[in-house]
Amino acid sequence: MSRIGKAPIAMPAGVTVTVSDKNLVTVKGPKGELTQQVDRDITVAQEDGNIVVTRATDQKRHKALHGLYRSLLSNMVVGVTEGYKTTQELVGVGYRATCTGNVLELTLGFSHQIVFMLPKEITATTTADKGKNPTITLESIDKQLIGQIAAKIRGFRKPEPYKGKGIKFVGEVLRRKAGKSAKK
């Protein structure tokens, strides 16, 4: 069996899980509600306060889906209880970010500002302390959505390998290049 797939998912207090007859799993918690359509060959059940995911056969496809859906359901449970948070840093002279409501405005050294509409499920905050790089903090209950939006924001100006200018995740280690050496 899949090592990930056979592990049961513990349900914290305040979390309810419902499985419809069409394998639509709904997880409700203190922070919100998430739904996931599960493949018809994968069975989701509740046993002793845990969520158990089982597969029909040992086919390669079923083995792959077994661990996948267990991970997706686990991420949903963590999302509705704790939520997810990612922080990005803008490295570069004159790089700025401001957020008003669901509109993120970025100044990244282009001739124009970039205006990015955030989904309503994501809340963003920006900070610009003196002497530090501006940061963008994204929070949501949906791990997949927050990762996708963070990747889109990073894609506006990826960090370059010589000076490290661009949008990077906090704690991300960039592979730097030496550049040209001076002539003698």
Task: Work out the pLDDT band at 148, boundaries 50, 70, 90.
Answer: very high
- Looking at residue 179, its pLDDT comes to 83
- Whose tokens are 């370059």? That residue is 160
150: phi then psi, degrees, rounded to nearest 5: -65, -40
**Interior angle at CA 167, CA 166 and CA 170, nearest 5:** 125
What average pLDDT does the chain have?
A: 92
Question: What confidence tens digit (pLDDT) does each residue in 103-113 have?
Answer: 999 999 999 99
Q: Is the fold of 3-81 the same as that of 84-169?
A: yes
Multiple choice CATH, 84-169, 3.20.20.120, 3.30.70.20, 3.90.930.12, 3.40.50.300: 3.90.930.12
As a CATH number, domain 3-81 is 3.90.930.12
pLDDT higher for 184 or 56? 56
- Looking at residue 4, its pLDDT comes to 85
Q: How is the chain split into domains, by residue range? A: 3-81, 84-169
- Looking at residue 2, its pLDDT comes to 64
Query: Looking at residues 122-143, what average pLDDT do you find?
Result: 95
Two tokens, residue 3: 């090592």
Question: What confidence tens digit (pLDDT) does each residue in 68-127 have?
Answer: 999 999 999 999 999 999 999 999 999 999 999 999 999 999 999 999 999 999 999 999
- Looking at residue 65, its pLDDT comes to 92
Task: Work out the pLDDT band at 21, boundaries 50, 70, 90.
Answer: confident
For the entire predicted model, the pTM comes to 0.89
- Looking at residue 29, its pLDDT comes to 94
Instruction: Give the residue among 112, 108, 114, 101 at the shortest CA–CA distance from 168.
Output: 108
Taking the alpha carbons at both ends of the chain, their separation in whole angstroms is 64
Pairing of strands 42-47, 32-37: unpaired
Q: For the chain, what is the largest distance between any 2 Cα atoms, rounded to a whole number of angstroms?
A: 76
